[in-house]
Amino acid sequence: MTTPQRLVEAGSRHHGWFDARPHDVNPPDEFGGLRRRWHDFRLKEWVGFTLVHPELYGALIIQEAKYLSSSEFYVRDRASQVQTEFAANARGGFARLPRVLLDGAHCEFVKPGYEVRYDFDDAAGRHHVRFGFAATEASEAVSGELVLDARGASPALSMSAPLPRRATLFTHKRIFPATGHITVGARTHRFDPERHFAIIDEHRSRLAYRTSWTWGTFAVRRPDGIVGANFATRPQLPGEFEESGIWTPDAAEPLRDIRFTPDPGDQPADLTAPVTVRDGEGRLDLVFTPEGSKGVRHQLVVAAIRYAQMYGSYSGTVRASDGREWSIDGVPGVLERMDARM
């Protein structure tokens, strides 16, 4: 559907699959008074990037859960098999994630020895991602800067939907060609926009207290343009849009009924086993082969997070609605599982 200027207008929230991110996204605008305060407290927000590069696996994120702010970064050097990780927590409200994101917004999570900053500028056609982490006993210092090409990016995968138990979902995802570097210790990895990408994952969702999902993504450039996919399973209402889709060179097309076999959410989960990913219409037929994983666990008084992101490669086929087909062979990507009380 045509993208509204605001996700919530005159107290009414838009739901659907948009052709861009709404300019202003603040789900609690749907409510007033004490209800608005409650729904604002229940809102979970994050902006992160999956890094796509043949020499490394990596990702970074800033998260705001209202009772806890946090940020994480990891990079895995595929040649040396060295994994470098940093994380930081702060009081709720510490993270800066403006509701108007792409039009000149600045996001940051900065503490001594830990720095993540995003600067978005759609008008100029580029976004900046900067980060720096001081060396510790366990990790070498890391620094980096990426310039993301907004004009050469994939179409937007942007959607809003109600979920069971009065929860709601808003997400915005897009593949950006990336220029810049990541330096880990003495080694620098250069980014070439013809081959390397940063995939944004933004959520502003009111999730159920007990929530879970399985999610994955990848991207690759083909002669006719950027091709990729984003796929997830979570509790859904019948007939509503899901956050799953295929990126073709000219569109972001919805997918439904994603199946992971075996699902990493099954217990006990084997984070080393290949996973088959298919949709209900036969347009996604992939095998994900893990190479490693990164885990996060938080145990608070009434909240808990058990999370694992596997990194590895995808092989198989992706099919557009018009019958076009792309072969995927050893393309870097991620697959993650979240189980949480929040």
Look at residue 199 and tell me whether its pLDDT is greater than 80.
yes
300 phi and psi, to 5 degrees? -105, -170
Q: How many CB atoms neighbour CB 217 within 10 A?
A: 23
End-to-end CA distance of the chain: 31
* Predicted pLDDT at 133: 98
Please check whether residue 133 is in contact with residue 60, taking contact to mean a CB–CB distance below 8 angstroms.
Answer: no
Examine residue 178 and state whether it is found in any structural domain, yes or no. Answer: yes
340 closest CA partner among 294, 311, 300, 292: 300
Domain count, the chain: 1
Which residue segment(s) compose the domain that 266 sits in?
Answer: 8-341
In this prediction the pTM is 0.95
CA distances from 187 to 110, 127, 157, 268 (A): 24, 24, 34, 37
Confidence of residue 298 (pLDDT cuts 50, 70, 90): low
Least confident among 1-5, 296-300, 323-327 = 296-300
Domain-located, residue 1 = no
Contact indicator for 261, 298 with CB cutoff of 8 Å: no
CB 142 within 8 A of CB 131: yes
Range with the largest mean pLDDT of 223-232, 235-244, 291-300: 223-232
SS3 328: strand
* Within a domain: 228: yes
Q: What is the pLDDT of residues 272-285, one digit of tens each?
A: 889 999 999 999 99
CATH number for the domain that contains residue 209: 2.40.370.10
Q: Which of 162, 337, 154, 153 is nearest to 245 (CA)?
A: 154
In the prediction, which pLDDT does 302 show? 60
Residue 294 has what pLDDT?
A: 86
Mean pLDDT of 300-320: 84
Q: Indicate if the pLDDT at residue 307 is higher than 80.
A: no
DSSP codes joined into one string, 27-51 = GGGG--HHHHHHHHHHEEEEEEEEE
CA distance 161 to 204: 11
| 62 has a pLDDT exceeding 90 | yes
3 in any annotated domain: no
C-alpha to C-alpha distance for 303 and 165, rounded to whole angstroms:
18
Torsion angle of the four alpha carbons 253, 259, 265, 267, in this order, in degrees rounded to the nearest 10: -170
The four Cα atoms 198, 172, 223, 194 give a dihedral, to 10 degrees, of -20
Look at 116 and 307; give whichever has higher pLDDT.
116
d(CA 220, CA 259): 22
Inside any domain, residue 118:
yes
For residue 2, tell me if it sits in a domain: no
CA pair distance 117, 130, nearest whole angstrom? 5
